[in-house]
Structure 1
């Protein structure tokens, strides 16, 4: 008989699991929803000293009370922190760890590390100096839950129930670092990804392909994945589907990531066009790809996506897709620019914006560049950085281009900064031309943001040209060596250069 220990996330307790637990019991499983100290009916037990260690001990005690030899332990959101901490101390009792729309925290990281909203991070990171200080974080109001995750799929009744069951979260549970043992790293695990919250198997595969050493463990055959097409609280929005997925995870089912031995990752495969090589000059974090031409030339600054961990090599300005595009631009008489910016985590958009602005200033000041004829071309998650230039276009900016872009923060990112919402910024773009390259086989969570942007652009009459890539994937320049993909690149480049020369 399978036993499930269910640990919920911030502000919530055992009662959010009621319908899931009922479904699991009907299938013959035992279920043990956890109410952590300070949460649910145990809120009166919390104090200023209630921290992550307190919650780990809560879970350890329950593991010791369960008489089933092996248990599947499920952590939702913040709940994965006490789950991992407890599993490391009772590894011999754990059959599988399930990350339910939860991150993959590393040793020494507090739960605060996964919060990207600056306002929330600032409040959580305030020190607690004494008993009179505010040691609890109040739960959000009914209209504020989306700052902690997508509420897609929640009925008004379910959202009201979520608020009704919520309790203040002891601050120290989110700020105390998690300590992982070697034993917990050897346990089988399953990730359940909620697509409406902005995560998917395709996105995980793309992140693994970047070569981040922290994600290598996800290719272990003991690691499986499932998707649920709902928001961040599937125990309330899709309890039946969640129960079925948990049973399948316990049976060692699910999607496994597979690498292709001997082949480079997608972003390091060759550019889809054969282009003549042009001179390349490195200036700090910026590379200029120079045309064979006299006099100042227009420039196109290519802004990569991410996040790209700082340890990844080669860095983005050396990726074949960006280098190929820059060289192609140089072969057509413009200065192509590649650069490295500091988007190493979702909390780094501010640093990345500063790096892009500094790169643009450097390029415009170069005597080989016509500083009054510049375009900026954003790729993937770099698309959020286009908002600043759409909101207040400088006179020298002749065009903004975006390719397979992310044009609104995904719900799981927890970013509410309006300065990173191109769909809002485009209303102030005036007649600034925008060239948007859209791939047919885009990840669903990203495609939604593109449609949001296009709806806003149509409403305000923005000048947006769409270049479609039939059969194209995210990162198509090195993945799809097809005639439609080549035509899309040549058309997008021709359009951008046309705006620079017009």
Structure 2
């Protein structure tokens, strides 16, 4: 039977695995729950002040556990932050690690600190080198508490300890790829993760995620929140046993060898227009002279800094820029630097600069501007919905994400259009794909409910058979009509 080494996330120790360990051992497996240095209930019992413990010490903790087990190959399980010391240990003992299980965890690479994926400001001002443990309702800031009973939450409050800040800020150091061995991802759907979300990330995200579609990578879903060892110990133990023998869903992503005939092209055949490049912004110019209203298109992400073509040179945004230029407007496309979940403030700054550049251009009527957001770029709409200047005549949203999923902890709370929408804001043109990713769709539903409560103006355009990114995926009369309808609605608002 399999041999498991279990490493928990922040503020917790080996105690959090108690029920899972019991079930694994009852099934005939060996299981070792690790309490990392400084994470004992009585801080400093390992002989080193907890505030001086760093990630390197936690990697060494896991290595010592591995070295003390007689079995040849082990399954290393890392939950949340725990994936950092697990990957560090697997890198040092590659011959002992038969599989790594990412349990509702991120995907860190060499040089990444855990703090990069943690809530905004969570490590700032840590007293005595320690991040205070959350309590009560503050656990939600660290992940969905769905499925936890009142007793579970009380247990977290009672047994949690402060997290040494250096374990979160010290970069992970790896000599190889975590995917040089079999890997399993266990996704907790109530925390915002799911196989469909990962498939979308692989199909349209940065190249680093292509490894998730590899033949030695499998996935499981658990219908619970971020602490399944407490909320669903039985299903979690079952999933770990299945992962150990190589089970799990392999991703189904489009076969790059046989792309559809329209791959890489915009769904409307729009003629080229004069295009001017100014820094991060391109202006697609109409034939009509004189200052014209403008539409600034805001792409989603995260994207890779090395991605080529960049979003503004992609078929989608070339197509949209030409489309509105053909309507007599200036189409502005932007490359903003949303290179990670913690980069939303930087991307928002890029957008603000782009708005000022566009408004100041003599070919643009700076008092008649629309902003059109796509995919996860929809989170950037929050600033403009909350405090709309008088020149912002419209906000358009296509296949948007309109609230951060629970596991996007690095996204600051301000980027939440569901909370920002209101009657005093600009009118919204919302295009909704019928085959949208469930996580995205849930945020769209929440946005519509909030808009209805506040009396905000929302023009809804439904595309029942369309998928996320339908501009290049689904070339149908329905999708073409939807894009034309959205463009006409935006034009009506900026010219009216």
The TM-score, its normalising length taken from structure 1, stands at 0.93
C-alpha deviation, 1:158, in angstroms: 1.6
C-alpha deviation, 1:121, in angstroms: 4.1
State whether structure 2 residue 294 is matched by structure 1 residue 299.
yes
The answer (yes or no) to whether the contact 1:409–1:415 under 8 Å persists in 2 is no
State whether structure 2 residue 32 is matched by structure 1 residue 32.
yes
C-alpha deviation, 1:53, in angstroms: 2.0
The answer (yes or no) to whether the contact 2:205–2:302 under 8 Å persists in 1 is no
State whether structure 2 residue 79 is matched by structure 1 residue 76.
yes
Q: Unaligned stretches of 5+ in structure 1?
A: 125-132
Counterpart for residue 127 of structure 1: none
C-alpha deviation, 1:211, in angstroms: 6.0
Equivalent of 1:58 in 31, 36, 61: 61
Q: Distance in 1 between matches of 2:392 and 2:21?
A: 57
The answer (yes or no) to whether the contact 1:268–1:319 under 8 Å persists in 2 is no
The answer (yes or no) to whether the contact 2:78–2:103 under 8 Å persists in 1 is yes
The answer (yes or no) to whether the contact 2:300–2:377 under 8 Å persists in 1 is yes
C-alpha deviation, 1:393, in angstroms: 1.4
Equivalent of 2:349 in 348, 351, 354: 354
The answer (yes or no) to whether the contact 1:267–1:475 under 8 Å persists in 2 is no
Counterpart for residue 432 of structure 2: 438
Q: Distance in 2 between matches of 1:467 and 1:184?
A: 43
Counterpart for residue 13 of structure 2: 13
Matches within 5 A, 1:83-232: 83-115=86-118, 117-123=119-125, 134-182=128-176, 185-210=179-204, 212-232=206-226
Q: Unaligned stretches of 5+ in structure 2?
A: none
The answer (yes or no) to whether the contact 1:470–1:485 under 8 Å persists in 2 is no
Q: Distance in 2 between matches of 1:267 and 1:50?
A: 54
Helix, strand or coil at the partner of 1:244: helix
The count of corresponding residues between Structure 1 and Structure 2 is 492
Change (3 A) 1:111 1:68: same
C-alpha deviation, 1:265, in angstroms: 10
1:374-398 deviation line (CA, Å, top 9, x unaligned)? 1110111111111111112111111
1:441-496 deviation line (CA, Å, top 9, x unaligned)? 22222222212211111111111111111022111111111222222111111111
The answer (yes or no) to whether the contact 2:388–2:425 under 8 Å persists in 1 is no
Change (3 A) 1:157 1:205: same
Q: Distance in 2 between matches of 1:141 and 1:302?
A: 41
C-alpha deviation, 1:100, in angstroms: 0.5
Counterpart for residue 405 of structure 2: 410
Counterpart for residue 340 of structure 1: 335
The answer (yes or no) to whether the contact 1:303–1:378 under 8 Å persists in 2 is yes
Counterpart for residue 473 of structure 2: 479
C-alpha deviation, 1:191, in angstroms: 1.2
Q: Distance in 2 between matches of 1:330 and 1:340?
A: 19
Q: Distance in 2 between matches of 1:168 and 1:431?
A: 42
Counterpart for residue 444 of structure 2: 450
State whether structure 2 residue 490 is matched by structure 1 residue 496.
yes
Counterpart for residue 394 of structure 1: 389
Change (3 A) 1:264 1:346: farther
The answer (yes or no) to whether the contact 1:13–1:35 under 8 Å persists in 2 is yes
Q: Distance in 2 between matches of 1:55 and 1:351?
A: 32
Q: Distance in 2 between matches of 1:265 and 1:200?
A: 26
Equivalent of 1:278 in 262, 273, 279: 273
Change (3 A) 1:160 1:268: farther
C-alpha deviation, 1:42, in angstroms: 6.1
C-alpha deviation, 1:324, in angstroms: 0.9
State whether structure 2 residue 463 is matched by structure 1 residue 461.
no
The answer (yes or no) to whether the contact 2:120–2:409 under 8 Å persists in 1 is no
1:176-235 deviation line (CA, Å, top 9, x unaligned)? 222213385522111112222222223323333346343333232111222222221111
The answer (yes or no) to whether the contact 2:207–2:304 under 8 Å persists in 1 is no
The answer (yes or no) to whether the contact 2:116–2:342 under 8 Å persists in 1 is no
Change (3 A) 1:26 1:398: same
Counterpart for residue 233 of structure 2: 239
